[in-house]
Amino acid sequence: MTAFRGALIVLLLAASAAQAASCRDEVGEAEARRYVRQCLLVSPATHPPCNEANPCAVIRDEIARGCRFIADADRAAPPAFCQRYLRTPSPR
């Protein structure tokens, strides 16, 4: 029964993500492109979700994760736009 619940939850999450508006639809093309550029600058992922077709929340979460990664690595100062994301507490 637990496996069934888990599968059901995954299906429901996938369905809701499929119905979510694209970032471009949420905030317009210029703002969505700005998020994508920032995301690509800081994301440590090999296949980051930095795409205007994704919801803005997904892109902003990846920006925040990348900014925290850079700040925690102490190798270089994060880009200036990271200050906004570093002030926001981690969702975990």
Q: What is the CA radius of gyration of the chain?
A: 15
**pLDDT score, position 91:** 53
**pLDDT score, position 17:** 53
Helix, strand or coil for residue 8? helix
Across the chain, which has 92 residues, the per-10-residue mean pLDDT values are: 55 55 97 98 95 97 95 85 83 50
**pLDDT score, position 87:** 84
Tokens of 27: 């905030």
83-92: Cβ within 8 A, 24+ apart: 85/60, 88/64, 90/64, 91/61
